[in-house]
Chain A
């Protein structure tokens, strides 16, 4: 099987790759977003604590 054949998915490339694309975007967002929000929250807490100590 050539690489081209692989990506063509027997003519179903659009349906197969859109499915996989959406799936992995949604799954990635579910991990990345909470991590970013947690880091932001920790920074906020640190700032607040600094202000209180001044």
Chain B
């Protein structure tokens, strides 16, 4: 704890308090939405209009600008969910539990988008909507993990117990994350290998890479926005009897 500078420590301490979190996220929201929309507009303009067609795949490759960022987000959000879940499990911080469960639906959505757009890309390029290869199958398992987390959470009435159960499930499922990432290297597959994360020499031209990175950043901001909206709802539902909620509702009625 001594390593964390005081203002940062104070920030996290305050953010763990529900009324502060609720008020702060409300003030933060317009900024997040603004930055997200700018990044999205630039990314879409660059990807759909400025970037040239692929020399092999023509214009069909433009699905990459939502497919790859969505797939990245599906892994990233899972790691956030498992980490905040573990923090909630160990230190019983209510807001960590809320961030974990609020991430699940956003993560499931990105996994779904990655699978569907992959399917819509696979049909014209591979001639098949779906193949049972390692990358696709492990990503489908990820979707089931997310749905399992959401289902388990909704099945248990006491939300603190539910959060514990969900965190354990999420932590067990972390095994799947490296499997998804390395699936294209460990198994022979129809899915193409990594093109961007070969940091020394990405095999993608800069005019295609820049919009891809812009979209990836836009999706990061999107995740924060969507997760916080879900978290605000979850927080209110859990804290319905707390004084700060009662006070807020009273002020709203008057």
Contact = CB atoms under 8 A, between A and B. Distances in A.
Contact of B59 (A10, A34, A41): A10
Nearest to A29: B109
Nearest to B48: A6
Contacts of B63: 15-16, 19
A45 B112 CA distance: 34
B120 A18 contact: yes
Interface in B200-254: 222, 225-226, 229-230, 232-233, 236-237, 240, 245-246, 249-250, 252-253
A29 B112 CA distance: 13
| Chain B interface helix/strand/loop/mixed | helix
B233 A27 contact: no
Contacts of A26: 109, 112-113
B40 to A, nearest CB: 10
Nearest to B225: A31
B19 interface: no
B66 A19 contact: yes
Interface string A19-53: 11011001101110011011001100110011000
Contact of A41 (B112, B229, B230, B237): B237
A47 B123 CA distance: 52
B55 to A, nearest CB: 12
- Size band of the B side of the interface? 35 or more
A34 B230 contact: yes
B176 interface: no
B168 interface: no
A50 B63 CA distance: 52
A18 B63 CA distance: 10
A45 B251 CA distance: 12
Interface string B69-103: 01000000000000000000000000000000000
B189 interface: no
Contacts of A31: 225-226, 229
Contacts of B229: 30-31, 34-35, 38
Interface of A: 1, 6, 9-12, 15-16, 18-20, 22-23, 26-27, 29-31, 34-35, 37-38, 41-42, 45-46, 49-50
9 contacts: A15-B123, A19-B63, A19-B67, A34-B226, A38-B236, A41-B233, A42-B236, A49-B250, A49-B253
Given A22-B116, A23-B113, 16 more contacts: A6-B48, A12-B60, A12-B62, A12-B124, A15-B60, A16-B63, A19-B66, A19-B120, A22-B117, A30-B106, A34-B230, A37-B233, A42-B249, A42-B252, A49-B246, A49-B253
